[in-house]
Amino acid sequence: MFVRRAIDHYLKGKRSRRDVTRFLETHPDLDRLAERIADEIREGRYRDTRITYFNRVEPISGKHRVIGRESVRHQIYDHVAVMALQAGNDLVITTDYRTQIPKVLEAVENGTLSMDTIDTACRRVLTWKQNLGLL
């Protein structure tokens, strides 16, 4: 299942993070979690999309920073969106465009997703719309 592979890919190197550890303790059955997330995406029901803010003082500079972090579940949604584009989806249809579009742009900037992939997807969508008389 695609969502389960996306969860496994997201978790690589993150299992030792406290928020991920807590998330995995409350969701030990990753197959069931993948099914629920797939259903939520398919039906447009996103849950637990809040951003938690915390204070941090940089150890060297002493600068005070306020850092926001999405929930692990939301980070998985974002990861699924990027992987869907990598897999050949032309559109990421989401009610949470405020976080997923920046995640797609971040993936382009860091080389995870190529601009050619985005251009090809956009070209197919625009051609499709033109053929349907929508442009």
Tell me the three-class secondary structure of the chain, residue by residue.
CHHHHHHHHHHCCCCCCHHHHHHHHHCCCHHHHHHHHHHHHHHCCCCCCCEEEEEEECCCCCCEEEEEEECHHHHHHHHHHHHHHHCCCCCCCCCCHHHHHHHHHHHHHCCCCCHHHHHHHHHHHHHHHHHCCCC
pLDDT of residue 73: 86
On the question of pLDDT at 48 being above 60, the answer is no
pLDDT category, 66, cuts 50, 70, 90? confident
Query: 134 vs 12, which has greater pLDDT?
Result: 12
pLDDT of residue 115: 87
On the question of pLDDT at 95 being above 70, the answer is no
Query: 90 vs 66, which has greater pLDDT?
Result: 66
pLDDT of residue 99: 67
pLDDT of residue 23: 94
pLDDT of residue 97: 66
Please give the mean pLDDT across all residues of the chain.
83
pLDDT category, 41, cuts 50, 70, 90? confident
